[in-house]
Amino acid sequence: MSLSSQNIVTYSPAYTIVPTYECFNRCSYCNFRTEPGLSPWLSLGEAEEILLQLKDQNVCEILILSGEVHPHSARREDWLQRIYDLCALALEMGFLPHTNAGPLSFAEMQKLKNVNVSMGLMLEQLTPQLLNTVHRHAPSKLPQVRSQQLQWAGELKIPFTTGLLLGIGETEDDCWETLAAISESHRRYHHIQEVILQPHSPGTVQTLNAPPFNPHQLPTVITKAREILPADITIQIPPNLIKDENWLLACIDAGARDLGGISPKDEVNPDYPHLQEQELRIILESGGWNLVSRLPVYPQFDCWIDGELAEQVTKWRQKF
């Protein structure tokens, strides 16, 4: 069934592997990080054990989601190599890797492109005002650093996912300006697969004392985003952060067409369990929508990948 069909909502059967939770940023809304040096790195042997258990579970995407080692740290090269090796292992075992590990250098992105069918980085919000509040202790959240990733992904022809975090102190105009920046980058390089609209959802670890983003406002944001973004960019929403079934359907009606990777645990929002595939299917069917699985690389980008990556994508396309 074509992904362009009007009654289709997609998701990726995924599993998240975390090389390390340590991160040199201290975003006040984070429920993921640990202090540098306090989180052991995942070994290749441990990862192989996990992947072996996934072989018969119809998992396609392996999301490599990592905390950030400082760019000038003596351990940065080892950190990147660990991420590369985990991607290569996942690929060798028949999965499709997708990495989101924070801002990377051009050379680091170029290296990881060889073992990833797609990559991603949330812009969150590009307003510099947040550097005085939630990003005060987060050096890699400089707007120009994150915007640079979109440009480099385009130059390297990496199918890319980005997105906004809603409810962390931005204004409506800030949202529209961030979406406009994404749109401008895509019109130049035609490389962005999805834009995630993620509502801030307070967790038990964060230090930020702020209410959750009202999910009832999401349909309005989605409608505006659909007006700003080119039609070939898919809008993604995380269904576990929208508890009300009716408002989840309202988000779909407003223009969201993807639910992201559905895995056993949301590592970024661990206090909000993922709705699983069958439950989502029932909810969507009640609103006249069909839930369809997809790969972490969209078909229009298949021509950008080659070698073993292309071989694995072809195998998965025959299954899905």
pLDDT in tens, 140-151: 999 999 999 999
- The predicted pLDDT at position 320 comes to 84
Give the residues across from 17 on adjacent strands.
64
Structural contact between residues 18 and 65, judged by C-beta atoms closer than 8 angstroms: yes
Three-state secondary structure readout of 216-279: HHHHHHHHHHHHHCCCCCEEECCHHHCCCHHHHHHHHHHCCCEEEEECCCCCCCCCCCCCCHHH
CATH 3.20.80.10 fits 8-312, yes or no: no
Q: Look at residues 148, 151, 146 and name the one whose alpha carbon lies nearest to residue 135.
A: 146
Q: What is the residue-level pLDDT of the chain in tens, covering all 320 positions?
A: 334 457 999 999 999 999 999 999 999 999 999 999 887 899 999 999 999 999 989 899 999 999 999 999 999 999 999 999 999 999 999 999 999 999 999 999 999 999 999 999 999 999 999 999 999 999 999 999 999 999 999 999 999 999 999 999 999 999 999 999 999 999 999 999 999 999 999 999 999 999 999 988 999 999 999 999 999 999 999 999 998 999 999 999 999 999 999 988 899 999 999 888 999 999 999 999 999 999 999 999 999 999 999 999 999 999 88
Distance CA 95, CA 80 (A): 20
Which residues have a Cβ under 8 Å from the Cβ of 17 and sit 6 or more positions away? 42, 47, 50, 62, 63, 64, 65, 86, 90
Q: Are 97 and 116 in contact (CB under 8 A)?
A: yes
CB 15 within 8 A of CB 63: yes
Say how many C-beta atoms besides its own lie within 10 A of residue 267's C-beta.
15
pTM for this model (two decimals): 0.96
Query: Residue 79 gets which letter from DSSP?
Result: H
Long-range contacts of 75-79 (CB under 8 A, 24+ apart): 79/19, 79/20, 79/41
